[in-house]
Amino acid sequence: MDIDDEILTEFYDNRYAVQGMLIYRKAALIVVREMQKILEENLEKAGHEPVLFPVLIPEDILKKESEHIKGFETEVFWVTEAGKKVLDKKLALRPTSETPVYTMFSLWIRSHKDLPMKVHQSCAVYRYETKQTRPLIRGREFLWNEGHSAFKNLDDAEKNVEEIRKIYGDLLNDLCIPYRIHRRPEWDKFPGASYTLAYDTLIEGKILQIATIHNLSEKFSEAFNIKYEDEEGNHKFVRLTCYGPSFGRLLASILNIHKDENGLKFPAKFAPTQIVLVPIFAKGNKEDVLKYCRGIKEKLVQFRVVLDESDKTPGEKFYYWEKRGAMLRIEAGPRDIENNEVVVVRRDTRKKEKIKKDELTPEKISEIFKDIDKNLREMAVKKFNEAIFTAGGIDEVKNLAGKGIITVGLCEKEECRNEIENYVSVLGVEEKEEKCVVCGKERKVAYAGKTY
């Protein structure tokens, strides 16, 4: 199903006066704050210092690493005036923070004792997206977390890459989002990086990049003169890494991957409404039923619980909250009060179960939520795996474009790559001997697909 506009407006409003810039509303911020909390806690456990850098970057700092700025030059928002004064130096709205962070690393790092240095920030970044904007997926302002780290050598930097892979993998597992990690081809890696790892998921058959990890070349540490003195007194350039997931794209993934014909579904921890209590009234017993339901709500205060006291019929309430992804519905009426029980209905399976009120503890709810997550994860992975295809020729690539991830033989010639990229984008290349579907020579395997 397509998500109703009525529901989406509870997450964001894209009618703001600047195209591509969203107003995030309560439901979206509940989800974003939950994922941000988990990510930040894990980064800080791994030794990252939380920071918050200014949003403005002077032009000379942004241009210090030429390959980097070349990759962003068409996307930068420039501030050229303040009040009535034309600025002597143009200021960029942060498109990403490598250049300002590494300017400060050059001041903060002096000795091997200062390493490793790891920082992270959750913030908004700004890019003048020239393609058609799409809420949460392709915008001109988006929310993310970015990490930046400096190390003595390549081995330590590679260990950091593996550490971040685990942190991001744990977050995506919590979000029940299936993905593949692709090492981006040379022509599509982050400007100035040695290599880029991208986390790709699928929405409606198209690839959505949700996070990246970049192991940067020494060009950055040389450009910003980030050196340390080793144990023997020698001065050496540090090795840098940077990485980040997009909170907006993660939210878009949750909304689209887990939805069904009845509405939204969420991993239970991230549902804006985790539990809805629906009182079932009979004539003359409204206050007794409400009192019973309020008592249940008080037992479950650690969850996001709504008691629906509206005048809608029970059926209307069921429909309303199913569409919005309330992951557990608890019903109680006169007969349930007599039996000291409730009816519990799961959003994922719609399975009904009667549970004694005394047994409806936070521990019991957490157990149900854990099983909901397991079920959502298994369903999402199954659907994801069913959308991975192999193409034996260019016609098959054309036919499969927009249906998922395509495995295809591809050589290194630019003309063969260009022929493939008339229909799909190359996500990554692996060292496997396969015949190129364009020229027939045996070279490598590429993973490709239509991207957002």
The one-letter code for the residue type at 195 is Y
Strands 405-410 and 425-435: unpaired
- Please check whether residues 286 and 199 belong to one and the same domain: no
- Please check whether residues 318 and 178 belong to one and the same domain: no
SS3 state at 199: strand
Instruction: Quickly count: other Cβ atoms within 10 Å of residue 270's Cβ.
Output: 24
In a domain, 224, yes or no: yes
In a domain, 127, yes or no: yes
In a domain, 378, yes or no: no
Whether the per-residue pLDDT at 36 is higher than 80: the answer is: yes
- Please check whether residues 252 and 296 belong to one and the same domain: no
- Please check whether residues 250 and 283 belong to one and the same domain: no
In a domain, 373, yes or no: no
| Per-residue model confidence as pLDDT tens digits over 106-130 | 999 999 999 999 999 999 999 998 7
Split into its structural domains, the chain has a count of 3
- Please check whether residues 194 and 325 belong to one and the same domain: no
Domain span at residue 415 reads 389-449
Whether the per-residue pLDDT at 218 is higher than 90: the answer is: no
Tell if the pTM clears 0.75, that is, is over it: yes
Angle between helix axes 154-174 and 26-45 (nearest 10 degrees) is 140
- Please check whether residues 363 and 437 belong to one and the same domain: no
Task: Give the least confident one: 115-124, 147-156, 186-195.
Answer: 186-195
List alpha helices for 300-343, DSSP H.
314-323, 334-338
- Please check whether residues 137 and 177 belong to one and the same domain: yes
- Integer-rounded Cα radius of gyration of the chain: 26
The domain that holds 438 is classified in CATH as 3.30.110.30
In a domain, 188, yes or no: yes
- Please check whether residues 61 and 171 belong to one and the same domain: yes
- Please check whether residues 226 and 87 belong to one and the same domain: yes
As a whole number of Å, the end-to-end CA separation of the chain is 19
Domain closes at, from 225, 257, 289: 257
What's the rounded Cα separation, in Å, for the pair 89 and 70?
19
- Please check whether residues 248 and 112 belong to one and the same domain: yes
Strands 117-126 and 180-183: unpaired
| Per-residue model confidence as pLDDT tens digits over 327-375 | 999 999 999 999 999 999 999 999 999 999 999 999 999 999 999 999 9
Contacts of 449 (CB under 8 A, 6+ apart): 202, 206, 207, 401, 402, 404, 405, 406, 424, 425, 427
Task: Provide the Cα torsion 191, 43, 266, 295; round to 10°.
Answer: -160
